Structure formats: structure tokens, C-alpha cells
Homo-oligomer: A and B are copies of this chain.
């Protein structure tokens, strides 16, 4: 599929629409949803829903709406959610383990969840060689360059300390990583071809604090 140059906020909303469609129980199939209802659930107006979807194709019928099963499969194709996405975590601390378990549990329980944790990496000799939840092996970080292609890792989740994160990312970029989700509380630098998203708890808290009473 051709990668459309859609704005990041549109992609974010598409991911949200997909989640909403997946949460709707539609075992029998054939149910329709209006742009109004989808928008209400997503917290945007119906015109926004129609505009976002129209960027990618003609998925609905005027006055009827979108067939839930059809739109869901189309969105899954657009967002690459119709294939398994291999994920690895670098940094097996508390946060890394919590994220690993969260991911493993969802992958096992939810038929639509496409993210499979295939490996973890850490430099602690006490952790290397062990397994998370008896299934996901912990490799030394130095093995990132071989393991990335070998395990077909699509997305790397970074949960190492802030001062170690850039070195990990540099190693992964050299090995050809395409997408990174960074939890380390620091700014990271990657070339333009690599997608880097942040999940930065203390930065979020600091932003929220601005809006409190002094």
C-alpha cells in the first residue's frame, strides 16, 4: 500500500477510530455506524470523521454511514494492523516488564491486537538469558544489530535510563530500525527515515502542572 503523506494527527485519529470499531461487538456483521456516532465516541465532530476517512478512500454511503466490519478491515489494512507487528523492548526494568506483560496479555486475549513482543534487551548480566513470562528472551543490548533483522523487529520500545537511550537508539538506527517508542525521559535524535514517538510521563506531568493553581 502506498504511504499517504497524511498528517500525524489524522493517523492518530484513524488509530482511535479503529479501536472504537474493534470495541463494537459486531459478531453478526452488517451493522452500520454513522460518522456522527463514530465522532461522538472519538470526541471529534462528524465532519472531521468524514474528512479523515475521505483522505484514504470512499468507505461509506451517504445517509447510511459505514459498515462496521468493512471499515474496520479497511482501517486495519491502512494502519498495517492486519499483520503481526513485531515489537521488542530495550531496558528490562520495572517499566519495561510492566509494558512487556501488558503487551503479552493483550496479544493473547484480544483477537485484533497485532503487537507481538518477540524479544527484550538489557545489559544486566543477571537478566540476560532469562525470559519474561517464560516466553520472551532477554538478549544483551550489544546483540541488537543481529537480532533486529533476524527477529524481524518492527518497533523498538525504549525503557532504558535517560543517559543510555541515545546510544541504544544509535545502535538500532544503524541496524535499520524503522520505528521507536521512547519512554526514556530525554530528547532523542534520529534520521528522518526513522519514526520516533515519545511517551514521557514526567514531561506530561510537568505540562499538566502548568494548568494547576499556583
Show the binding face of A for B, using Cβ within 8 Å: 1, 3, 8, 11-12, 14-16, 18-20, 41-43, 77-81, 83, 85, 87, 94-95, 97-99, 101-103, 106, 113-115, 154-155, 178-181, 185-187, 189, 195, 197, 199, 201-214
Question: Once the chains are docked, how many angstroms separate the CA of A72 from the CA of B46?
Answer: 44
- Beyond contacts A195-B208, A197-B207: 12 other A-B pairs, Cβ-Cβ < 8 A, are A19-B202, A19-B203, A19-B206, A42-B187, A43-B189, A79-B207, A85-B212, A94-B97, A94-B102, A97-B98, A99-B201, A181-B201
In the complex, what residues of B have CB within 8 A of residue A114's CB? 209
In the complex, what residues of B have CB within 8 A of residue A178's CB? 211-213
In the complex, what residues of B have CB within 8 A of residue A186's CB? 19
Contact of A199 among B78, B201, B212 (CB under 8 A): B201
Q: Show 9 A/B contacts (Cβ-Cβ < 8 Å), sorted by A.
A: A19-B202, A77-B214, A79-B206, A81-B206, A85-B205, A87-B205, A154-B209, A197-B204, A199-B201
Question: Once the chains are docked, how many angstroms separate the CA of A202 from the CA of B103?
Answer: 8
Contact of A202 with B43 in the complex, beta carbons under 8 Å: no
Contact of B155 with A210 in the complex, beta carbons under 8 Å: no
Contact of A210 with B11 in the complex, beta carbons under 8 Å: yes
Contact of A207 with B106 in the complex, beta carbons under 8 Å: no
Contact of B181 with A204 in the complex, beta carbons under 8 Å: yes
* Shortest Cβ distance from residue A16 to the other chain B in the assembled complex, whole angstroms: 7
* Shortest Cβ distance from residue A78 to the other chain B in the assembled complex, whole angstroms: 7
A197-B206 in contact given A98-B95, A98-B97 (Cβ < 8 Å): no
